[in-house]
Chains A and B, each alone.
Chain A
Amino acid sequence: MNEIENCFEYESPSQDITGSREHNRKKIKVSFGKYEILVLLNSKNEFVRILEISVDKDFRSIEQKLDSVGYHDVADLYE
């Protein structure tokens, strides 16, 4: 079980760096088709590594989605 969990672990910038380097790296999310790729860049905006790949899809059923029936009341801001 631990082996499987470890396969999906990655080191976050705050874990593997110290001092000012932490502020020189940034993560950006890039859409690629139906995938979202979390990419780590260095201070020169150069590619360091891919941190995470996820599927940009809501897997909830329509019944589960309808459980959230709230909305933003903004129509009058556009009159």
Chain B
Amino acid sequence: MFYDRNLDQVFRFGDVVKDFILCSSIIEYPKPESYDFKIDIFRPSYAVILTPCCSIGGKTILLSPLDEIKPSFFDNPYIAEDLTNINRKMTPEQSTPPIIWARMSQEEKDQRFDMSQNKSYAFFDSFIYSEHDQLPKYKLKNKKKVEFETGFRLIDFKKIYKVNCSAINNSKQVPIESKILQSSIETRKELREKLAHYFYRKPKEDDV
């Protein structure tokens, strides 16, 4: 079960919320004493809370917009069967569209895949949110330009925003009417582990 049936009257890590406005600064290059910048402001239809449950409060919250998925995910039968498979570790073959896997050389496989484990994450910066009646379906086109509908969405760990909101004092004193879905305990566990893995990766030069 991806979502809890009942919504607790608190904000939790992994909750889907609406009506928050997100903002980022845009600069061409960091220069001393330069204030040449732009500000990008947008209102995503939905966003996911990424502040850990115990840290929600202090009039701030971390959010990641809930985006549409890539239609090419459906090129891989293992992923198409259940898009939330992306949230869990998988074998190299499961992570690859079968046509590409069939023609891939062993040398390329050795370079691309983590062979040290039976299973590893693919799409290490993404987490899929399952379909739900509260999340309207939208249309995608596959490579053959055939249109199809899906309700799956994803968050990208590279897009995490901090919002200052004076209504968020602690996890209970929050604008609860903006909460529309609550992730199950199992989903929160998977999100927490994948997010931790994303930040825990270390470059090869740090190996001592």
Interface of A toward B, CB cutoff 8 Å: 62, 65-66, 68-75, 77-79
User: Could you write out 25 A-B pairs with CB less than 8 Å apart?
Assistant: A65-B193, A65-B197, A68-B116, A68-B120, A69-B197, A69-B201, A70-B114, A70-B120, A71-B114, A71-B121, A71-B124, A71-B197, A72-B92, A72-B113, A73-B111, A73-B112, A74-B96, A74-B112, A74-B122, A74-B123, A75-B122, A77-B96, A77-B97, A77-B100, A78-B76
Of A62, A72, A75, A79, which one neighbours B120 at CB under 8 angstroms? A72
* B72 CB–A CB distance under 8 Å: yes
Q: Provided the pairs A72-B92, A72-B95 are in contact, do residues A78 and B196 lie with their beta carbons within 8 angstroms?
A: no
* B73 CB–A CB distance under 8 Å: yes
Q: Assess the B75–A78 pair: CB atoms within 8 A.
A: yes
Measured CB to CB, the closest approach of chain A to B52, in angstroms, equals 13
Cα distance A17–B102 in the bound complex, in angstroms: 35
Residues of A within 8 A of B73 (CB): 78
Residue of B nearest to A73 (CB): B112
- Apart from the given pairs A70-B116, A73-B112, 15 other A-B contacts in the complex at a CB distance below 8 Å: A62-B192, A62-B196, A65-B197, A68-B116, A68-B117, A68-B120, A71-B114, A71-B124, A71-B197, A72-B96, A74-B95, A74-B122, A77-B97, A78-B75, A78-B76
Residues of B within 8 A of A79 (CB): 72
Cα distance A75–B86 in the bound complex, in angstroms: 11
Residues of B within 8 A of A68 (CB): 114, 116-117, 120
Residue of B nearest to A70 (CB): B114
Interface of B toward A, CB cutoff 8 Å: 70, 72-73, 75-76, 90, 92, 95-97, 100, 111-114, 116-117, 120-124, 192-193, 196-197, 200-202
Of B75, B90, B192, B197, which one neighbours A72 at CB under 8 angstroms? B90
For the complex of A and B, 9 pairs with smallest distance between CB atoms: A70-B114, A72-B122, A78-B72, A72-B95, A71-B124, A71-B121, A73-B112, A74-B122, A72-B113
Q: Assess the B122–A71 pair: CB atoms within 8 A.
A: yes
Residues of A within 8 A of B95 (CB): 72, 74
Residues of B within 8 A of A62 (CB): 192-193, 196
Cα distance A66–B120 in the bound complex, in angstroms: 11
Cα distance A58–B114 in the bound complex, in angstroms: 19
Cα distance A70–B201 in the bound complex, in angstroms: 7
Q: Which of A66, A73, A77 has the most CB of B within 10 A?
A: A77
Cα distance A74–B94 in the bound complex, in angstroms: 11
Residues of A within 8 A of B97 (CB): 77-78
Measured CB to CB, the closest approach of chain A to B60, in angstroms, equals 25
Q: Assess the B123–A66 pair: CB atoms within 8 A.
A: no
